[in-house]
Amino acid sequence: MNLTHTDHADRVKIPANHAVTKRLGNWTTARRFQVRAHRGSAVLDLRPDASGGRRIVVTGQLRSGEVRVRRGGIAMLSAMFSRAYWDDVRRAHKEGGFPTVDDPARTP
């Protein structure tokens, strides 16, 4: 795969160095990501914000690590057992809306 300079400029950089980095709910509309985790982990919620699904292609290098894909109910439960979900629930309660971390298709 031949990447040009413009390919790198479009990417959202997500560092996870000696830490756990989570991006849950409606956090981006970007289509390209660069994840670098050194002795840490990154959890990315890439569930679609609209019906119709999303195609995800994972490329790159992985050393002493793993990639887990969670869909449907398991992805929702993982999101609901996070601090970001409870912050979102509090925000939604104050604003009179609904939380979106557990279901990104739900608009705030």
Q: Would you say the pTM of this structure is higher than 0.85?
A: no
* Selection from 37, 18, 22, 17 nearest residue 85 by Cα: 22
Q: What is the pLDDT of residue 52?
A: 65
Domain boundaries, the chain: 5-95
> Which residues on adjacent β-strands are paired with residue 13?
34
pLDDT band at 91 (very low <50, low <70, confident <90, very high): very high
> Which residues on adjacent β-strands are paired with residue 37?
16
The answer to whether the beta carbons of residues 89 and 95 sit under 8 Å apart is no
pLDDT band at 8 (very low <50, low <70, confident <90, very high): low
Q: What is the pLDDT of residue 88?
A: 92
Q: What is the pLDDT of residue 6?
A: 47
